[in-house]
Amino acid sequence: MSELRGKLNELFNRVCAGGAPPAPARFMIAEVGPKDFKGAHPVIDRSKLQDAEQYAERFRQLLGAGYAWLNLSYYGLIGQTGLVVVELPGAAPRPEVRSPRTSVNLSGPVMAVADANWDATAFVVLVGEEPDSDDHDGGGSKHSAEPTAQAVNKGESTMPTTGEKPGKGTYKCKKCGQLVTLDDDTDTLPPCPKCEHTEYDKVA
């Protein structure tokens, strides 16, 4: 068992036992320092969240780095996932004080989170992109995500778009490749019948 997993078990079994916040099967770890707080509220970049297994080695290194303390706080749920924040001190680690070991301070969700049905966002500030929110479709998600984002940013693109009357012809959905045929110059391009995407390439 990794040090992190041991501490997580301790956190849920002992510290949180009285207040009964849920102990989810899956955790995400966010590491923060003094600069990552807005008042009392940690500001968490979604793209930097790591799962417990990914973070275990980093945690092991932190424990051996000579920090006076580390705070390990369960801040509540993001959806079905538990958010655990590892807070580092502002002071640089002092390798010479490795012994006695770094004190790991455990804490559970604050009352505001408990009152919000353990929703972590009642206390933490989430910023940045949701990790792999586009990846659930699997496969070529990277492929399709980029042109979409570019097209949205461009705004003045000339590509045929849902709601326009680009004229008689066959149009191919940029996202899934579905073909849509317009029989008449007055026909309006619909959302893709297969995936509801709104951008097309004219193919015929």
- When binding is defined by CB under 5 A, the residue of 120, 160, 192, 198 that contacts Zn ion is 192
User: Of the candidates 141, 148, 146, 143, which has an alpha carbon nearest to the alpha carbon of residue 192?
Assistant: 148
Ranges within 21-40 binding Zn ion (CB under 5 A): none
Q: Of the two residues 36 and 199, which places its CB atom closer to Zn ion in the complex?
A: 199
Q: Does 176 bind Zn ion (CB under 5 A)?
A: yes
Binding of Zn ion by 195 (CB under 5 A): yes
Selected from 175, 182, 189, 198, the binder of Zn ion by CB under 5 A is 175
Cβ–Cβ < 8 Å for 100, 67: no
Q: Cα separation of 120 and 85, whole Å?
A: 11
DSSP secondary structure, 56-79, as one string: HHHHHHHHTTT-SEEEEEEEEEET
Residue 174 binds Zn ion (CB under 5 A): no
Token pair listed for 94 = 């002092």
Residue 194 is a binding residue for Zn ion (CB under 5 A): yes
What three-state secondary structure class fits 177? coil
Distance of closest approach, residue 175 Cβ to Zn ion, in angstroms: 5
**Cα pseudo-dihedral 57, 10, 27, 99, rounded to 10:** -30
Which residues pair with residue 85 across a beta bridge?
A: 30, 73
Q: Kindly indicate which of the ranges 5-13, 65-73, 79-87, 173-181 contains the residues binding Zn ion, using the contact rule CB under 5 A.
A: 173-181
Closest approach, Cβ 172 to Zn ion, in A, equals 9
Single out the residue of 114, 178, 179, 187 in contact with Zn ion (rule: CB under 5 A). 178
Binding site for Zn ion (CB under 5 A): 173, 175-176, 178, 192, 194-195, 197
